[in-house]
Amino acid sequence: MRRRCHGESRLGPAWTTVRAVLTALVAAATMGPGAAGAQSLQPAGWDADLRLAEAVDRNPDPDVVEVDFEARVAKVELAPGLQVDAWTYNGTIPGPMIRVKVGDRLIVHFTNNLPRPSTIHWHGLRIPIGMDGVPGYSQDPVQPGETFTYDFVVPDAGIYWYHPHVMSAAQVGFGLYGAFLVEDPAETVGIADDLVLVLSDIDVTEDGKLLPADTGGTVGMLFGREGNQVLVNGRRLPELVVRSGAPQRWRLVNAAKSRYFKLDLGEGNVFRKIGGDGGLTEYSEDHDFIVLGAGERADVLVTPTGDPGGEGLVRSLLHDRGYGSIFGRDFESLVTIRFADDPPYEGDPLPRTSRAMEPYELDGATEIDLELTLQEDPHDQTFAYGINHVPFWKAQPILAGLGETQVWTVTNSTAWSHPLHLHGFFFMVLDDAGDPVRPLEWKDTVDIPHERTVRLAVRFDERPGTWIFHCHILDHADGGLLSAVHLDLPPEDFRNLAEH
């Protein structure tokens, strides 16, 4: 019952060079000091359909954010007339957005009122191993009715997210995820109208029942199950009311358990990408599309343009993530853009951004070869994903020393792409010559396309522990594609439990 929306986007062409010059002149003439780009340019209530509820900070200390999270089954409305009993944090999909400043201490009092054990993993955050939320590696599962307090200092600005690491494909697929925005008060992008957009999907029947997480059996696991309802901030095809030409900043999170998104704003409309997984990139760069594998994020500036009173679409185009991922399918409509009657905005052109970043010194880095594999068990003829032909339940960790730099050459021998996520550390992606891809970007999740090789460089810092890495197509992780880096602890301390 995947919904398809027809018709071309009616977003108009991008501004022309002439218009850019004119608008710069107009802006210079009309904008007072200090007002440049810092005031909302959008109609009142423009984002009412999409504004995320935020976690309530109950700590008066301005540098401490203390919140209560309860995982529970709750009825949510995905679209008018489509309600489902989902798995939620505090009763909503996505869960409440956490908003902190870089350097703040975050305390989360987590209560698990789900029928199964759970945890919270803080995706992309460089925090101590004991806060990483992975049973068998960093904490015990939080049993139904029990609590756990997460408490850590947030080290890096950027857009992150959180989700469980128990029965991951099922629990994320049922609705357990939320955005985690870490702001840098010194940052000067200067776009007042910003949104956090959590992209996801969910698999429900027409009468609002969750489909079982093992739908499709082994074939479902091999492919990676996608939900039949695509959601943006927990809604199917929400609406944004915008003034044509007015700049917006979107922080995008792909929280889907398998699905890739290839975002498209219509012909002539570009995304100015200013940040990725781990904060701002080295410099901004314009893209016609933004492709996000499961777990990846992007920070983009956009200026949707169209006729006042008209409408357009944010779409997700087809992306080939391997065998069977395109055939017979169509684009997905994500957000309806309704252009207000206000005359088009003619202000400053979009700002460009930059960040001082140093590429890693790679001389002397330890070379690690990893192959992402699919193998058949000779004993029972079942299939499992693995790393170097070993599923996680038999895996031995990579060893690493504190401060060690490693270059991973990751070859995907399977017919499906794998967005590979490393817990706890950022890495830089390298090009074919072994140099860092420019603009530099701190990544924690990178797409390893099917039958391709990707190299990346990571420096392990002073946080010992056993840090997992895995495919963020969570069916693939549950199906074996997960292993670990053991940082500065003796190998015999490594434990490997079935539930992760």
Site residues for Cu ion per CB under 5 A: 418, 471, 473, 476
Give min distance, CB of 483 to Cu ion, in A. Answer: 13
Q: Which residue matches tokens 């940040």? A: 275
- Nearest residue (CB) to Cu ion, 242 versus 481: 481
Give min distance, CB of 481 to Cu ion, in A. Answer: 5
Give min distance, CB of 216 to Cu ion, in A. Answer: 16
- CA–CA separation, 316 vs 335, rounded Å? 10
- Nearest residue (CB) to Cu ion, 157 versus 446: 446
**Vertex 328 angle, CA 322 and 329, to 5°:** 75
| DSSP string across 414-436 | SSB-EEEEESS--EEEE-TTSSB
Give min distance, CB of 277 to Cu ion, in A. Answer: 17
Radius of gyration of the chain (CA): 22
Give min distance, CB of 414 to Cu ion, in A. Answer: 8
- Nearest residue (CB) to Cu ion, 323 versus 435: 323
- Nearest residue (CB) to Cu ion, 458 versus 471: 471
Give min distance, CB of 473 to Cu ion, in A. Answer: 4
Backbone phi and psi for residue 209, each to the nearest 5 degrees, phi listed first: -105, 140
- Nearest residue (CB) to Cu ion, 88 versus 414: 414
- CA–CA separation, 161 vs 122, rounded Å? 6
CB within 8 A of 239, min separation 6: which ones? 49, 335, 336, 337, 338
Amino acid (1-letter code) at residue 351:
P
- Nearest residue (CB) to Cu ion, 473 versus 487: 473
- CA–CA separation, 10 vs 138, rounded Å? 50
Closest by CA to 459, choosing from 409, 407, 494, is 407
Cis status, amide bond into 94, omega within 30 of 0: yes
CB within 8 A of 16, min separation 6: which ones? none
Give min distance, CB of 120 to Cu ion, in A. Answer: 22
- CA–CA separation, 14 vs 186, rounded Å? 31
- CA–CA separation, 232 vs 374, rounded Å? 32
> 419 with 293: CB under 8 angstroms?
yes
Give min distance, CB of 257 to Cu ion, in A. Answer: 11
- Nearest residue (CB) to Cu ion, 236 versus 423: 423
Q: Which residues of 353-392 are buried (b: 16+ CB within 10 A; e: fewer)?
A: bebebeebebeebeebebebbbbeeeeeeebbbbbeeebb
Amino acid (1-letter code) at residue 122:
W
Helix (H) or strand (E) holding 477: helix 474-478
CB within 8 A of 395, min separation 6: which ones? 386, 387, 482, 483, 484, 496
- Nearest residue (CB) to Cu ion, 253 versus 473: 473
User: What DSSP designation does 343 have?
Assistant: P
Give min distance, CB of 385 to Cu ion, in A. Answer: 7
- Nearest residue (CB) to Cu ion, 123 versus 476: 476
Q: What is the strand order of the sheet 366-376 is part of? A: 383-387, 366-376, 405-412, 453-459, 427-430
Give me 128's structure tokens: 């101590």
Give min distance, CB of 476 to Cu ion, in A. Answer: 3
Give min distance, CB of 195 to Cu ion, in A. Answer: 29
Give min distance, CB of 124 to Cu ion, in A. Answer: 18
- Nearest residue (CB) to Cu ion, 277 versus 299: 277
- Nearest residue (CB) to Cu ion, 300 versus 446: 446
Give me 375's structure tokens: 């193998």
- Nearest residue (CB) to Cu ion, 425 versus 469: 469
Q: Which residue matches tokens 């951004």? A: 353
